[in-house]
Amino acid sequence: MSFSIEADFLAEKNDALAPALAEDYQALSRQLARRDVAIESIVGAVMAFGVAIPTWGVGTGGTRFARFPGPGEPRNLFDKIDDCATIHQLVRATPTLSPHFPWDATSDYAALRENAQARGLAFDAVNSNTFQDQPGQKLSYKFGSLSHVDAAVRALAIAHNLECIAIGGKLGSKALTVWVGDGSNFAGQSNLTEALDRYLASMREIYAALPSDWRVFLEHKLYEPAFYSTVIADWGTSFAAAQELGPQAQCLVDLGHHAPTVNIEQIVARLIRFNKLGGFHFNDSKYGDDDLDAGSIGPFRLFLVFNELIDARARQGAGFAPAYMLDQSHNVTDPIESLMQSAIELQRAYAQALIVDRAALAAAQQANDALGAHLELKRAFTTDVSPILATARYRAGGAIAPIDAYRASGYRAHKAEERPAVAGTSAGIV
């Protein structure tokens, strides 16, 4: 028997908190009404918000030095689905999973899809992996994959991506995310132009295999594992590659994949302008690809990204729908707690962006009132929208206080008993 959190248990926890939440909600409702914001429409929008959980995120992550496995880690994709379902049960903001292959490989994808569906979960973008060699692999990705100098290695990497599309088809996915670690560690090691040409030629073959209702997301990253040059290092290269490939190719912005001082919200605005923003890998970072929890370092920056998204939606309408995914590595926390809190932080940034007075902001911009415009953003950002988020969760059947409820349930301790540690688990990233 696999432990899950009972509805009665959750209801009891919520009952204790509901009266105080109602009071806070009323107070916020009056505050927002004075600013002509109808709180109910924000609650509705937050309830409709969804972000995909990366299957690799429910395992404990590691650093380049070590991984310290936690108790009750998921041992396979079915365990991961249990954890993702628990997260969604409590936060009601994570209805999809983004799987990674071959980490999540299994023999029966139809059964997998049914299992997820039965837990109320669906599949978002599938991620390919040509940055590691798999056991028994004949050719190595040590010196690259899609851009490798050897056509046989490129063919292997292309075939893997085609397999990911085929698996995604069985799971109901509509997108493939391609991140390659290809690059070089020494000046002169790689011909910078030819490496990009080879990448593009490989991507053309992958693009040609996409079903017509699919998209392919190109994920750029400044450095690591390559430390001198990376083939798809920045949004400019990613954009140009997506442009060459065609309309089904779009760019994916992983927040941690930029130089520390780069203006990410402006990159987002640029990609939107050229219709090439495919989606996000949300996380936070202080130095590099730290994969810290979303909103834990720079909540204002996260808000500014959502501010661009709301601005774009106002401009482009409901058809504007980038894919939202988390991509984090949890080294020192319980991954379930981190993922719940991260989803909530995204909803917070989203709700805050929704209450920006766009007319007042536009007027201040038009009048060159720099501080006035800035204060419009700050007014939204400093509004505590927590009662909106809690109310959205509560109404959707989730937990008013998800982390407290999760801790009180003893879920992790139960899983520690049910899931004896196995060697070579694919959970987490080292």
Q: What's 397's DSSP letter?
A: T
Residue nearest to ligand RM4 (CB): 179
Alpha carbon of 391 to those of 26, 67, 121, 333: distances in Å? 11, 37, 22, 26
311 binds Mn ion (CB under 5 A): no
Q: Is 79 in the site for ligand RM4 (CB under 6 A)?
A: no
- Closest contact distance (angstroms) between CB of 71 and ligand RM4 is 23
* Cα distance between residue 273 and residue 327, in whole Å: 25
Minimum distance from CB of 331 to Mn ion (Å)? 14
Shortest gap between Cβ of 256 and Mn ion (angstroms)? 5
Which residues have C-beta within 8 Å of that of residue 261, sequence separation ≥ 6? none
Bridge partners of residue 253, in order along the sequence: 280
Nearest to 328 by CA among 296, 284, 280, 291: 291
Which are the contacts of 82, defined by CB distance < 8 A and separation ≥ 6?
A: 2, 4, 74, 119, 415
Number of H helices, E strands in the chain: 15, 12
CB of 127 to ligand RM4, least distance (A): 5
Q: Which of 73, 104, 254, 265 binds ligand RM4 (CB under 6 A)?
A: 254
Q: What is the smallest separation between the CB atom of 349 and ligand RM4, expressed in angstroms?
A: 20
Under rule CB under 6 A, residue 127 binds ligand RM4: yes
Phi-psi region of 67 (alpha: psi -120 to 50; beta: other; left: phi over 0): beta
Is 289 one of the binding residues for Mn ion (CB under 5 A)? yes
| Nearer Cβ to Mn ion (79/254) | 254
Q: What is the pattern of x (binds Mn ion, CB under 5 A) and - over residues 216-255?
A: --------------------------------------x-
Cβ-based nearer residue to ligand RM4, 78 or 223: 223
Q: Which of 281, 330, 348, 393 binds ligand RM4 (CB under 6 A)?
A: 281
d(CA 378, CA 394): 28
CB of 54 to Mn ion, least distance (A): 8
Q: Site residues (CB under 6 A) for ligand RM4?
A: 100, 127, 179, 219, 221, 254, 281, 289, 327, 429
